[in-house]
Structure 1
Amino acid sequence: MPIKERLQEDWKQALKAKEKLKAETISMAKSAILLVEKTDGVKLEDEQIIEVLAREVKQRREALLEFERGNRQDLIDKTNAEIEILLGYLPQQLSEEEILQIIKEAALEVGASNIKEMGKIMALVRPRTLGRADGKLVSSLVKDFLSK
């Protein structure tokens, strides 16, 4: 089942079950997808929907840092729950070991060995990890790999 249909069905089920947070989170995700579709004037396929959902997760993770600074446990809990709901629509997340393996393969492909060639590696790694790993984590792992 396409992600968009799954979101719609899960949203209906959440409303029926009176799962307010899940319904709100799915509704926000659907709105983000619709905004991109209207702005770009195209119907998004699953791959682009994964990008939108990954961006939504990223925004929430960034917000978590602010909530932690402000000691807002209520918002931290809510945001973590939203992240978990959204991750359910993304492909299985990669472990650090799997990401490192992708980085090593990319480095071999482009012959990169120093930090100045980080862009070359990221150009190969990003499409392979999109929606399956946090971009900041990937970037920091590439930096660590190249600085060794």
Structure 2
Amino acid sequence: MSIEQQLRDDLTAAIKARDTARANCIRMVNTKVMERRTAKGFRGEVDDALYLDVIGQYVKSLQKAIDQFRAAGDKGAQNAAELQAEVDYLAKYLPQPMSEDELRAAVREAIAAVGATDAKMAGRVVGAVMKAHKGRVDAADVKRIAEEELGG
């Protein structure tokens, strides 16, 4: 079942269960996908890759908002909890992130494939890992590990 169909089914179930928070979360994802589809210069199909990209970006923006609400203390605690519930719900649609050990192994493979010898070539390593493991790794983590492995 495609992510689009799964979201449609989940939206129907959320509406029937009167779960407005979950329904609004799904509607927001659908809206962001529609914005992307109607954006000038969009070429391609609406497939799982598009949904994964949109959900990933949305989750990342929610994480930033959660951090800001938590920094506000008690005033933002309720909002942070609501956003965290959205992140937890959307996590089931995203691929599982790589563990630290898996990421180190992927970085070592990329270093060998690219032929990197010093920290100046970390950008190429990051690019290779990001391309090979799209959606499962964070660029900042890849860069940190690449620099550690290359002695930078």
Same fold (TM over 0.5): yes
Closer, same or farther: CA 63–48 of 1 in aligned 2, 3 Å: same
Q: Which residue of 2 aligns with 1:3?
A: 3
- Given that residues 51 and 130 in structure 1 are in contact (C-alpha distance below 8 angstroms), is that contact kept between their aligned partners in structure 2? no
Inter-partner Cα distance in structure 2 for 1:142 and 1:80: 30
Q: Give the partner amino acid of 2:46.
A: L
- 2:128 maps to which residue? 124
* Amino acid paired to 2:15: L
SS in 2 for 1:88: helix
**Number of residue pairs the alignment of both structures matches:** 148
| Corresponding letter in the other structure for 1:131 | G
Tell me the CA shift for residue 41 of structure 1: 5.3
Per-residue CA distance 1:63-117 (angstroms, 9 max, x = gap): 1221121111112211111111111111222212111111111111011132211
Q: Residue 55 of structure 1 is aligned with which of 41, 54, 57?
A: 57
1:34 Cα offset (Å): 1.1
User: Is residue 46 of structure 1 aligned with residue 48 of structure 2?
Assistant: yes
Structure 1 position 127, deviation (Å): 2.0
Relative to structure 1, the CA distance from residue 104 to residue 41 in structure 2 (aligned partners, 3 Å threshold; closer, same or farther) is: closer
Alignment of 1:12-91 (within 5 A): 12-39=12-39, 40=42, 42-71=44-73, 72-91=76-95
Structure (1 or 2) with the larger CA radius of gyration:
2
Matched, 1:135 2:128: no
String of CA shifts for 1:124-144, please: whole Å, max 9, x gaps: 111233222333333333333
SS in 1 for 2:97: coil
TM-score normalised over the length of structure 1: 0.89
Native 8 Å contact 2:111 2:125 kept in 1: yes
Q: CA deviation at 1:42?
A: 4.1
Contact 2:69 / 2:77 at 8 angstroms: preserved in 1? yes
Residues 11-46 of structure 1: CA deviation (Å, up to 9, x unaligned)? 111111111211111111111111111111543221
1:141 & 1:129 partners in 2: Cα distance? 15
Note the aligned Cα RMSD (angstroms).
1.7
CA 1:82 to 1:141, structure 2 compared with 1: closer, same or farther past 3 Å?
A: farther
Identity, in percent, stands at: 26
Greater relative contact order (Cα < 8 A, sep 6+): 1
